[in-house]
Structure 1
Amino acid sequence: MKSYLHHSRSPRIYFYRDKEKRGIDLLIEENGTLYPVEIKKSAAVHTMKFRGFSMIENLDTPIGHGGVICFVNTWILLSDHVDAIPVGYL
């Protein structure tokens, strides 16, 4: 948010929760595309209960590449559309 405000832009950042109570921590809207982000307190990305961002696939808005911010040591490709991002990169 600070980066957006520093550049005199209004941040378009949301939280998502559906009727089944599945949620996404952050949805960042940029140029009409939503970029989903989850935040996890783990480095074990292969064992965490991350099910992806399939719950937003039916939205009328394009979905961009997503990320899971967590305690991994290096950037890891989790799928074709989702990366594990080290919290230290922030």
Structure 2
Amino acid sequence: MRRGFVLFFHNFSTFLGRAGIYLEDLYVTPEYRGRGYGKGLLRQLARIEVERGCMWLEWWCLDWNKPSIDFYLSLGAEPMKDWTVYRIAGDTLAKLAQ
């Protein structure tokens, strides 16, 4: 029985010349939340990170998702203050593609 999963991939900083890991998704089934499974999954991902010689683990979190933010902060995660996410989609994307 699966209790959760992480989906991740490598990324690369041209500024630092080093690789990191981007956490695309962390999911724990509702009945197992609050039991340490999320922390265990992130701990294993951190081990993979260290074994592969990567320099950071990063992800996005919606501003309104307080339970997740509190969880990440409890692990020592720090919100990025120097970066803003930009997106082009829909009609704007189609127009740019012309």
Q: Compute the TM-score of the two structures, normalised by the length of structure 1.
A: 0.38
- More helix by proportion, 1 or 2? 2
Bigger Cα Rg:
2
Asked which structure has the greater RCO (Cα within 8 Å, sep 6+), the reply is 2
- Provide the TM-score with structure 2 as the length reference: 0.36
